[in-house]
Amino acid sequence: MKEMINRYELQNRASDKAFAKSTMLKIDIEQLEDDIKTNNTGPISIQELELVLKGTRIELQVWQYITELIEKSNKE
């Protein structure tokens, strides 16, 4: 039988996941910025690393927006 959770628990779990994802993306951004500063690019070029950083910053914006929507939903 399929387990169901109530709306409150679902919203809390969604909020926790979105917050955790945003936190991990912030850590990734810090690491990418540091790698660019120290020219620690590994097998890719600095330009490719900068593209990864740009994409990660955009992904963070998306997850922050998702978090905002979840928080607004929790107030309803």
Does 2 fall in a domain?
A: no
Alpha carbon distance, N-terminus to C-terminus of the chain: 30
Joined tokens for residue 13: 């779990």
Question: Which residue range forms the structural domain that includes residue 57?
Answer: 7-75
In a domain, 37, yes or no: yes
pTM: 0.86
Domain contains 24: yes
pLDDT in tens, the chain (76 residues): 678 889 889 889 999 999 999 999 999 999 999 999 999 999 999 999 999 999 999 999 999 999 999 988 877 6
Total tally of structural domains belonging to the chain: 1
Please state, in angstroms and rounded to a whole number, the distance separating the CA atoms of residues 72 and 76: 7
Could you give the CA distance from residue 8 to residue 6 in angstroms, rounded to a whole number?
6
Q: Is residue 1 part of a domain?
A: no
Q: What is the C-alpha to C-alpha distance for residues 29 and 49, in angstroms, rounded to an integer?
A: 11
Residue 23 in any domain: the answer is: yes
Q: Could you tell me if residue 38 is inside a domain?
A: yes
